[in-house]
Amino acid sequence: MNQGIEGIDFIGEEEHRRTSTMFAAPNMFYVYYDDNHNIYSITNEKKDSGNFVETTETLVKDFLEGRKDYKNFKVKGVGNKQLVENKIYVNSVYKDFSVITPCESTPELAVSIKDSKIIFKINPDITGYSGNLQFFIVDKNDYNCLLETFDINLEDIQLHGSVEKPLNYNFENIAIIAKNFFNSYGIVND
């Protein structure tokens, strides 16, 4: 067996070839991933095809119980179905999101904090969009610790120029993350 993260052992590829059962042993699971290492399934059923890593229930328990969404994670360290450094790493993927940070220039969507409110202001040149913008309040030291999520209607922010949301957390302890829509986001001082 190969040593995995947090002391969890993974079954090596040679042992996979010798396994002929359709279902994993009790508490064993298969983490299936695509060629880009994005996880698309976690199951105790061994499928006929696909890239996978065999692991224990301990590693995937948070996914199975809905505390984590496996679509936000990737299997790393695996190339051509072989383990690299005999380890499997599972890390969050943030490619579709932007952490909103202080900026000096004028972003397409500016964020400011005032009187326990988050104020979102759109650049006046931005018009004609519809739908919702998604935002996430997370612990600034652990982006996987989601504190709050909310949407802002694009038509409302274009009509009024800004939208306010209550800030229920100490700003020093949080980060604001946006699902990418605009080219630039920034925290500004108003």
Angle at 163 between CA 158 and CA 167, to 5 degrees: 155
**Distance of alpha carbon 141 from alpha carbon 7, whole angstroms:** 24
Q: 164: which strand partners?
A: 119
Q: Which amino acid is at 170?
A: N
pLDDT one digit per residue (tens) for the chain, 190 residues: 444 444 444 555 555 444 444 444 557 788 888 877 777 888 888 888 888 888 777 777 777 777 777 666 767 654 433 332 223 333 344 567 888 888 878 899 999 999 889 999 998 888 888 889 999 998 888 887 888 998 999 899 999 989 999 998 888 889 998 988 888 899 988 6
Report the topology of domain 97-187.
Immunoglobulin-like (2.60.40)
- Domain residue spans in the chain? 2-92, 97-187
pLDDT 10s digits, 160-180: 989 999 998 888 889 998 988
Q: CA distances (Å), 36 to each of 1, 67, 108, in order?
A: 25, 24, 31
Whether pTM > 0.85 for this model: the answer is: no
Q: What is the CA radius of gyration of the chain?
A: 21
Determine what percent of the chain falls in helix, strand and coil, rounding each to the nearest 5. 15, 45, 40
Contact 100, 177 (CB under 8 A): yes
At residue 26, the pLDDT reads: 58
DSSP 181: -
Angle at 54 between CA 11 and CA 42, to 5 degrees: 170
Centroid of chain to Cα 67: 12
The pairing of beta strand 142-153 with beta strand 132-139: antiparallel
Q: Is 88 exposed, middle or buried (0-12, 13-18, 19+ CB in 10 A)?
A: buried
**Distance of alpha carbon 90 from alpha carbon 100, whole angstroms:** 24
Contact 167, 116 (CB under 8 A): yes
Question: Cβ contacts of residue 65 below 8 Å, gap of 6+?
Answer: none
